[in-house]
Amino acid sequence: MATVNLSRRPDVVDVIAVLDGDKEEVLLQKALGDGGPSQCLFFEEFAVDGFAVKLRLDWNDLDQNGDPTLGTDIYKDGKKLLADRDKWHHTPKILDGGEWVYAWSFRGKQLRFKVQVTSQRNQPAVSRIASPTDPAQE
């Protein structure tokens, strides 16, 4: 599994969506056209009523709690859908049933999931190794 490279959250190394029913999906980072890393982590594309749905967590669009926005692009016959975009394009994390989740829907398809983030922090340190002292010499 490749480590992600997020400029606004350099501590994040792995992100998993935990869907209802405890199904897990590892979110993947893709390269931009210039070869640099996207600041979004992507779900596998799926279909709803003949529409291609692409979901992503956008780490450039963080809320007041530092959580990414769920972004959605929907395509029909290769063309981006713009109708009713305000209802599904950006989805914030919400408190639902005592859990912080993303709840997304489009044409009757509903998706509810939590995000599991693995963070890694490095802490530099210096150590000195000394010979043990002989208690008899003290």
Query: For residue 119, what pLDDT is reported?
Result: 82
Structure tokens at 81: 């859908």
Give the three-class secondary structure for 27.
coil
Query: For residue 118, what pLDDT is reported?
Result: 87
Query: For residue 135, what pLDDT is reported?
Result: 67
Query: For residue 50, what pLDDT is reported?
Result: 95
To the question of pTM greater than 0.75 for the whole model, the response is yes
Q: Where are the domains of the chain?
A: 12-120
DSSP state of 83: T
The single-letter code of the amino acid at 63 is D
Give the three-class secondary structure for 137.
helix
Q: With a cut of 70, which residues of the chain have pLDDT below it?
A: 1-3, 134-138
